[in-house]
Amino acid sequence: MSLLNDLINLDLSETPEKTIVEYIWIGGSGMDLRSKARTLPGPVTDPSQLPKWNYDGSSTGQAPGEDSEVILYPQAIFPDPFRRGNHILVMCDTYTPAGEPIPTNKRYNAAKTFSHPDVVDEEPWYGIEQEYTLLQKDVKWPLGWPVGGFPGPQGPYYCAIGADKAFGREIVDAHYKACLYAGINISGINGEVMPGQWEYQVGPSVGISAGDQVWVSRYILERIAEIAGVVVSFDPKPIPGDWNGAGAHTNYSTKSMREEGGFEVIKAAIDKLGLKHKEHIAAYGEGNERRLTGRHETANIDTFLWGVANRGASIRVGRDTEKAGKGYFEDRRPASNMDPYAVTSMIAETTILWKP
């Protein structure tokens, strides 16, 4: 197919300076990513230079057929790793023609939380560990697993190498470089405990950009899996039984936690989170009860437990944070299919704004 690749990789910089802009948004399920492209006459460096656009919301479960226009507001730009050159991806959120955020638009309220002066002062940082599972395309069974059967039990696969232990590395490595190219703050990758499952981390990102970067990194991942003929799943417990689930552990710190005496601030924040455990859990991803069982390095969904270096806890504090007396903590409760706008803003709200 070399002629097709020649065309896909055409270097358009010789021809008039047009930019292709891929507008990305979240569809009606809250997890389905959608995108479409348009041509703009010149280079673009700032979201404010981009026009609003619209799409057919009746085709994504977000508007009725008789009044189907949903408006896209461009929010964050990233260089396009697929088209390269000057072309860009833009993360958008969604509004009615009257200018109201539609119900599935979680970014709007998150942005309000993050622009609250108390929250701005605390400069909240997020590091999100996104786990996901690769599935064979037509059978929806994990990549590398024998069809109609199971691989050997967990043990050999975490951070492993070898054709019998690591399935799909080319997707993971392509994603790593593509995200770096796109300017996403991807800080690392690793093979996970369940074979065919992988993780990448985005962060540290400040405030609303954590959500933007995680969503665009998910977009890039699913585009790459599409090229590879593989399906990506964000289900929190893709295979029942003695197989790990998939989470989106959210590491968090504020200015106060990062300074001298931060460890006490961390403990106080964790206490507040403990008082709102049920509310957080309700927003931490559909199907999480299948994952948070108390086994497979999770804490039971009804239990709120924190500990240093404890991977069976709801919240884990690293040994180095304890030792330094300051740093960050890890909320291990969010599922892989959580909405990062909802989770990041809720953590900020509970720990910074809420007074019990």
Task: Give the contact letters, 219-258, x = binds to its own copies (CB under 8 A), - = no.
Answer: -----x--xxx-----------------------------
CB contact at 8 A, 283 and 277: no
Nearest CB to its own copies, comparing residues 111 and 166: 166
Q: Does 54 bind its own copies (CB under 8 A)?
A: no
Of 61 and 307, which CB lies nearer to its own copies in the complex structure?
A: 307
End-to-end alpha carbon distance in the chain:
62
**Which string of x and - marks every residue 270-309 that binds its own copies (by CB under 8 A)?**
---------------------------x---------x-x
Angle between helices 208-228 and 107-115 (to 10 degrees): 150
Q: Which residues contact 29 (CB under 8 A, 6 or more apart)?
A: 61
Is 47 a residue that touches its own copies (CB under 8 A)?
no
Residues touching its own copies, count (CB under 8 A): 53
Compute CA 230 distance to the chain's CA centroid, rounded to the nearest angstrom. 19
Contacting residue, 16, 99, 117, 155, with its own copies by CB under 8 A? 155
Helix (H) or strand (E) holding 36: strand 33-40
Looking at residue 317, its amino acid is V
Nearest approach, Cβ of residue 308 and its own copies (Å): 8
* Residue partners of 25: CB distance under 8 A and separation at least 6: 33, 34, 35, 55, 72, 91, 92, 93, 94
- For residue 278, the SS3 value is helix
Beta carbon of residue 185, minimum distance to its own copies (angstroms, whole number): 8
Residues at the interface with its own copies (CB under 8 A): 1-2, 5, 8-9, 79, 81-82, 146, 155-156, 158-166, 169-171, 173-178, 180-181, 183, 186-191, 193, 224, 227-229, 297, 307, 309-312, 318-320, 323
